[in-house]
Structure 1
Amino acid sequence: MTTSSIRTRRVPTKRLTVQIDEVRDEGEPVVFVHGNVSSSAFWRTTLPLLPERYRPIAPDLRGFGGTEPLPIDATRGLRDHVDDLAALLAALGIDRVHLVGWSMGGGVVLQYLRDHPATVRSVTLVNPVSPYGFGGTHGPDGTLNSEDGAGSGGGTANPEFVARLAKGDRSEDSALSPRSVLATCYVKPPLRPEHEDEYVTSMLTTRTGDDHYPGDSVASPAWPGVAPGTRGVLNCLSPLRFRLDDLHLIDPKPPVLWIRGEDDVIVSDTSMFDLAHLGSIGAVPGWDGTLAQPMVAQTRHVLDRYAAEGGTVREVAVPGAGHAVHLERPEVFGAALLEVLSA
């Protein structure tokens, strides 16, 4: 089966109209949730690989792809996306589901699990954002660097990258063009994805501005001088808004697969997107010694607690792969996914 077998349609729900990619109408539902600055297109080579026992579905989150671009209330963390997903599943008549989340989508999936544990058959996390958000924390338990969340949120995005997204730049004439970021950060060089043009197109569907990407921000007296606002994508990922301290308390506890590329430069203990780490290597001026966020260690801390309370967790670290392990090592990813789906 090839990507030509994928159907795309728009589904009205009680919250908004959601665009989805799907393959068939029958089978155990498996929902694939994409990451930031992307869309369901990043799952199009994965969906056809699932056996007929499963019904793969990949929605576009609000503000990405073809889904209705309603504003994002960041004060709710990732719950706008979680509630959108719940509304989609209700519209499709689905009551229990396997969830697969990549990057920011991993955070959406974890929050969904936290809020609706009885409806989840299994969880697969693909290079997921830390359960303590993105930026602004230190230590495995996600201790805030500053009470106002400084170092996270909408003000941490690179303005040139945002501007190039907004104007639909498809070039490779800057390290900050979407195509260059895809080639150097989404995957590990020298790999160039087979469907690169489609992925660039997907990235360019990202709505920009205060209500979407990157979101608004406020000044902070703490380094690096910016703290999260209340609207948009990066603010809903701030540790002030998204924080899962109690995941280990949910019941029931479906099995969790955590699969990641070992050479990921986005979600990492030394992330090239974390201003504190960039400051420590001299790439951001005025660094005051603020500690970098150990993103992988934080995820391991939360999942270890989940396992200690009776959950089943499997971690698969893939050598030589970056942030999009499902594109870079599809055979390894597919085998691990099928194992947790059939657990």
Structure 2
Amino acid sequence: MTGNVESRTVDTARVRTRVLERPAVVGARRRVLLVHGNVSSSAFFHDLLLALPDDVHAVAPDLRGYGGTEPRPVDATRGLRDWSDDVLALMDALGWPSAHLLGWSLGGGVVMQVALDAPGRVQSLTLAAGISPYGFGGTHGEGGTPNAADYAGSGGGTVNAAFVAAVAAGDRSDAPGSPRDVLRKFYVNPAAFTPTPEQEEAWLDAMLSTRTGDDHYPGDMSASGAWPNVAPGTRGVANAFSPKYQSLAAFAQLSPAPPVLWVRGDLDAIVSDASLFDLAQLGALGVVPGWPGAESCPPQPMVTQLRAVLDAAQAGGGSYREVVLPGVGHSPFLEAPDAFLAAFTAHLDAESIPDTPSSLNTERL
């Protein structure tokens, strides 16, 4: 694969958007849009952009609140729709009637929301360690039942305040809990993958580009009488992906849903059925005091919830393929680039995935 990654700013009808772009080296046969996750930016996709097939025109935007994009506030009461609308406005500005969409972590939820809002513009989806359809924290069961009526255990108040302060201060240390420490321990599986110094500095730059505050990351909060005594506010990132405002269950009702490739690591500590970023799981482990127990506040089964929605979408005529990469953490395209690229290019080549029973969909490579 050849070509160069270019950085530019695109004026859209909604927000001035900074993008990384890899033009097609030969005739552009396919268009791919890559959407990053929380506390990151398009910089995490740099190496993947270079590795894509020569006939792919690929664009990776910085979402609002991240990187070099205009820092418009996030209205959490719209769930993921501020970002979904921004993605669609970017496609309009690029002159793209449709594209293949890839979303990492939070970006996985964003691209699913795009498919809900404009299904005719989504040729396929790829979810790289995509979040649960029911957001992050505060739910149980495969159907995303809330643990409390006010969705306590999700939203801006659940985010570690010291970590937010470190991001805001541009902390480049390797102190415990610093952005660099979180990158090394949780964005990847540190036992199997070590970034180069150049990669680590570029990715740390991306993390530190995150805007902080009530309108951005993590957002505001409200008090709750239910453990852990915080519930979602109405502004900012972590509230936008609270299950109070985010539900992608309707993805299963699309007729049909676009074909999905779901790639995840088997050692993902962030998006997991036992996530170390879910306060209920941390309570069960004794890390956060006062946990009332599994009967009233069980951990969120994030992977199970996503699989249930994809199974339902497949039953309605859609299709999906789940690829589980051994020894890989939260960033499969960084940690296992060859395996990820092989699965992704095969997905693009197929354009659709044969409808097979969900019990046969999971592959371990």
Count of residue correspondences:
341
Equivalent in the alignment of 2:75: 73
In 1, distance between residues paired with 2:228 and 2:252?
Answer: 33
Query: Which residue of 1 is the match for residue 18 of structure 2?
Result: 19
Instruction: Report the equivalent of 2:179.
Output: 178
Amino acid at match of 2:135: G
CA contact (8 A) 2:65 2:73 kept: yes
How far did residue 252 of structure 1 move? Answer: 3.8
Q: Is the 8 A contact 2:273 2:299 kept in 1?
A: yes
1:314 corresponding residue in structure 2:
321
- Taking only the aligned residue pairs, the percentage that are identical comes to 55
1:332 to 312, 327, 339: 339
Output the CA distance in 1 between the equivalents of 2:120 and 2:257.
8
Partner of 1:189 in structure 2? 190
Which letter does structure 2 place at the counterpart of 1:144? Answer: P
- 2:230 matches 1:223: no
| TM superposition shift of 1:183 | 0.2
Residue aligned with 2:58, SS: strand
Unaligned runs of 5+ in 1: none
For the pair 1:151 / 2:158, whether they are aligned, the reply is no
Q: Residue 18 of structure 2: SS of its match in structure 1? A: strand
Once the two structures are superposed, the pairs formed by residues 91-102 of structure 1 within 5 Å of their partners are 91-102=93-104
**Residue 299 in 1 paired to residue 302 in 2?**
no
Q: Is the 8 A contact 2:256 2:316 kept in 1?
A: no
Q: Retained in 1: the 8 A contact 2:251–2:257?
A: no
- Report the 3-state secondary structure (helix = DSSP H, G, I; strand = E; otherwise coil) of the residue aligned with 1:253: coil
CA distance in structure 1 between the aligned counterparts of 2:13 and 2:137, rounded to whole angstroms: 33
Q: Which amino acid aligns with 1:255?
A: P
Amino acid at match of 2:324: A
Counterparts of 1:159 and 1:321, CA distance in 2: 28
Whether contact under 8 Å (1:118, 1:251) holds in the other structure is: no
Where structure 2 has 5 or more consecutive residues not aligned to the other structure, the ranges are: 351-365
* Contact 1:169/1:178, CA 8 A, preserved across alignment: yes
Q: Is the 8 A contact 1:118 1:252 kept in 2?
A: no
Report the counterpart of residue 140 of structure 2 in structure 1.
138
Cα distance in structure 2, aligned partners of 1:169 and 1:335:
36
Deviation at 1:54, TM superposition (A): 1.1
Q: TM-score, normalised by structure 1?
A: 0.98
- CA separation in 2, counterparts of 1:226 and 1:215? 12
Question: Which SS does the other structure have where 1:107 is aligned?
Answer: helix
Tell me the distance in 2 between the aligned counterparts of 1:136 and 1:5.
43
User: In structure 2, the residue corresponding to 1:124 is in which secondary structure?
Assistant: strand
Instruction: Choose from 265, 289, 293 the match for 2:269.
Output: 265
Query: Corresponding residue for 2:210?
Result: 206
Distance in 2 separating the partners of 1:225 and 1:54: 48
Q: How much has 1:253 moved relative to structure 2?
A: 2.5
Asked whether the equivalents of residues 78 and 242 of structure 1 are also in contact (C-alpha less than 8 Å), the reply is yes
- Separation in 2, partners of 1:17, 1:155: 29
Q: 1:240 maps to which residue?
A: 244
Q: Which residue of 2 aligns with 1:45?
A: 47
